Amino acid sequence: MDEKVILDACCGGRTFWFNKHHPNAVYVDKREMEKRTIWTSKDGTMTREFEVHPDILADFTKLPFDDETFWHVVFDPPHLTRAGEGSWLATKYGRLDGDWRETLRKGFWECMRVLKPHGTLVFKWNETDIPVREILKIFGGGGTPVRSKNKQKRHDGLACVHEAAGGRGMTGGNPPGWERGAR
């Protein structure tokens, strides 16, 4: 793992990547899915296929890495709460169930835990079901949202640099009860 400097903490179908097999990245997801058709046009002439093949099967709320392992972490978690269980949207992007606020909070701070001091976390979000302002509240605010020019897709991106002292992220501090090495 020493040669891997980038972590994609919830890779799904690696749609974030131009090079879906980047030699410096390790891809993690809690799902494994063989290629299958997730959408077919009404006339049957077009289809969309999707597959999930992570390098490591794990949940982004409990990553199997030591503290300060990666220089860069990509955090593109599920963003849908209302997608039907068997829908192509839920299949492709995943779905947040139950206490999604706590799931995202844990995931964010787990990504910060495995990030090296002065490393970069890239967070991608789509506001289809949950506005980014709600996500910023969960993470403690701060950071600078960068909005996509395509307002119909409603994508946001946040980047934050891991400060050397204490693993501070967008909040300038750690959440209550968070300590390095403690999960």
What tokens were used for 159? 């980047």
Q: Is the pLDDT of residue 101 over 70?
A: yes
Structural contact between residues 72 and 5, judged by C-beta atoms closer than 8 angstroms: yes
Query: Are 124 and 108 in contact, with CB atoms under 8 Å apart?
Result: no
Band of the pLDDT at 139, cuts 50, 70, 90?
A: confident
Q: Tell me the pLDDT tens digit for each residue of 56-68.
A: 999 999 999 999 9
Query: Given a cut of 50, is residue 85 above it in pLDDT?
Result: yes
Q: Quickly list H helices, 7-130.
A: 88-93, 100-114
Cross-strand bridge partners of residue 72: 6, 120
d(C-alpha 121, C-alpha 161), whole Å = 6
Closest to 161 measured CA to CA, from 127, 128, 98, 115: 115
The domain spans of the chain are: 6-161
CATH class of the region 6-161? alpha beta
How far apart are alpha carbons 127 and 135 in whole angstroms?
Answer: 10
The reported pTM is 0.80
* Kind of pairing between the strands at 155-161 and 115-126: antiparallel
Give the model's pLDDT for residue 168.
Answer: 45
